Amino acid sequence: MPSDRWDVIVVGLGAMGSAALYQLSKRGVRVLGIDQFSPPHDRGSSHGDTRLTRLGVGEGAHYVPLAMRSHEIWRELEAASGEEILSETGGFFFSGEEQVSPVHGASDFITATIAAAEQFGIEHEVLDVEAMRSRFPQFKYYGKEVGYYEPRAGFVCPERAIDVQLRLAESQGATVWRNTPVTAVEPEDGSVRVVTDRGAQTATRVVLTAGAWISRFLEPQYSDRFAVYRQMLFWFDVDGSIDDFMPGRFPVYIRTDRTKDDVLYGFPAVDGPNGGIKIASEQYLAQCDPDRMDRDVSDEEVAQMHALASRFLRIGQCCQRATSCLFTVTPDGEFVIDFHPRHSELILASPCSGHGFKHSAAIGEMLAELAIDGETRFERGPFVFTQ
């Protein structure tokens, strides 16, 4: 086989691309992974130390097998690498005063979470306000909340997961090109040409996992399927003793509210007693260009976050650090994992819409199956690229 001819090329090595590369290399195919930066990096959607994971997935029951399989794969990666990737700290998810509050396209997130847990036999408890107050006094309650607690929910370390999968992929024979922007992906008859400044490469199939940049490789009629929004992450001091916020005492959590912009979620004090707690909400007001967005978080944005979070949580005034990140969102909040509508050699994967990381390890497996076999064991119906 000539050196510029591959079975599969993976374009973009973030959460999804690194998982796909690992799974493809495990199956022994000739695979090249290319990224414009040196992953893990802080320019895309997969940085900021932690990503929340839960098995009762309120965004839809079709996501549950992906989250469950991802937990299994992360344990496999931990055994192979000696690195800690997944921490099951317990997860607490509760609604505000009004039950109906959309999260990632799910109109009644807590009810749907409970239903998914019941359907798949996932260990959980439904909590009333009294039980919530006594179990998690770190939050402020207003009397009408509905709560769900899942002991196996927790967080994944995104940078570590990417790094481990890339390292294992290389040790299994994959080739990785870092700091190599792909300038064109051109489907030809029965193959795909991938153009970089290191030359053009050809593959039988290409997996396109370019995150917030995916539209750049698609025809103009498809680009409005992927809206990119700037998000922010904040690490605040707490009000009172940090002991109450350490892992073991404090869970990962999501607190829904009246609108999707008022959702609050966060993590325990994973950086120890002096690192603060990471909190975030979601912004869908203004779309952005991933190459031109303002990466800095302003004082005004910190003040807005403090005002939102302090309604629900005992946080202090001091924001230790903040960073920005990118959501790529489809109109219905579902993922896109599908063959290109006109070129079956090209597989598109945009599993973000703000909730993709917890599924990424299994999505890598799904993408490897699609690239090699043309089909997958996972349900894919909701992820088709409809126009």
Interface with ligand FAD (CB under 6 A)? 11-17, 34-37, 39, 43-46, 48, 51-52, 181-182, 209-211, 213, 231, 233, 280, 325-327, 351-352, 354-358
∠ Cα 205 208 213 (to 5°): 155
Q: Taking a C-beta distance cutoff of 8 angstroms, is the pair 286, 230 a contact? A: yes
Which of residues 55 and 128 has its CB atom nearest to ligand FAD in the complex?
Answer: 55
Q: Taking a C-beta distance cutoff of 8 angstroms, is the pair 25, 174 a contact? A: yes
Which of residues 8 and 15 has its CB atom nearest to ligand FAD in the complex?
Answer: 15
d(CA 257, CA 110): 11
Which of residues 1 and 259 has its CB atom nearest to ligand FAD in the complex?
Answer: 259
d(CA 61, CA 111): 12
Which 8-state DSSP code applies to residue 139?
B
Q: How far is the CB of 43 from ligand FAD (least distance, A)?
A: 6
Q: How far is the CB of 50 from ligand FAD (least distance, A)?
A: 7
Q: How far is the CB of 188 from ligand FAD (least distance, A)?
A: 19
Which of residues 101 and 360 has its CB atom nearest to ligand FAD in the complex?
Answer: 360
d(CA 111, CA 124): 13
Q: How far is the CB of 373 from ligand FAD (least distance, A)?
A: 22
Q: How far is the CB of 105 from ligand FAD (least distance, A)?
A: 14
Q: Taking a C-beta distance cutoff of 8 angstroms, is the pair 88, 157 a contact? A: no
d(CA 287, CA 293): 9
CA 322 to chain CA mean position, Å: 18
Which residue number is nearest to ligand FAD in terms of Cβ?
A: 14
Q: How far is the CB of 262 from ligand FAD (least distance, A)?
A: 16
Which of residues 44 and 147 has its CB atom nearest to ligand FAD in the complex?
Answer: 44
User: What is the DSSP code string of 246-264?
Assistant: SBTTB-EEEE--SSGGG-E
CA 73 to chain CA mean position, Å: 15
Which of residues 58 and 211 has its CB atom nearest to ligand FAD in the complex?
Answer: 211
